[in-house]
Amino acid sequence: MAAIGLLAAVTYDQPLAMLLWPGFLLMNYVYSQLGFAGIAFTDFGWVFFFFFVIFIITTLRGNDLHPMNYFFLATAFFAFHLLLAYLVDHISIHLAFVVCSAVSVFLVVSYLRLVVGLRFAALEAGLAQLIYLVLFSYAFFFKGFTGLAVTIGAILTLFVVMQMTGRVRWSEKFASKPVGAVSPL
């Protein structure tokens, strides 16, 4: 999340981290309500990978996501953790996990279809969320393998992003555009 705040600070006047501060305060309260398993699900930085991949894809395609769009994506991720924290008291943890995953993926896809279109929302963002929220979180069910799963996922993410961006001229991609200019598709 700090990286997203840094990206927002570089690109926009108001850092995204300032917009997310109330969410961090609420997360502290949620932590106080969770047991060990709940904290394990919510206290890991792998969520950064989702935002990193979305940032790279939208940058390469010329889609302009504003920090407020990232804020709403972050709240959809947070919905998974918040709902899981309370739902697990009423149904089995596996069923709660499935319900929370479906709710969070639905929030992201239904929102991004309005922002950038259904194809990006369902394919790229939906798949990224399935990998970086659902599968990485599910790795916590396999004691002793969580770190390995996240490490392998991080290395594979790095490989894929490096292959996608190997020929990108970053200085041209991030060059200042005149006001009113439209980026080429």
What tens digit of pLDDT does each residue of 21-41 get?
Answer: 444 445 555 555 545 554 454
Backbone angles phi, psi at 179, to 5 degrees: -60, 130
Query: Is a pLDDT exceeding 70 seen at residue 17?
Result: no
Q: How far apart are CA 68 and CA 70, in angstroms?
A: 5
- How do the domains of the chain map onto residue ranges? 2-21+36-166
For residue 4, give the nearest of 168, 119, 169, 18 by alpha carbon: 18
Residues 41-53 pLDDT 10s: 444 556 777 888 8
Percent helix / strand / coil, the chain, rounded to 5: 75, 0, 25
* Across 56-77, average pLDDT: 88
> In terms of pLDDT, which residue wins out, 3 or 77?
77
pTM > 0.85: yes or no: no
Nearby residues of 127 by Cβ (< 8 Å), 6 or more positions away: none
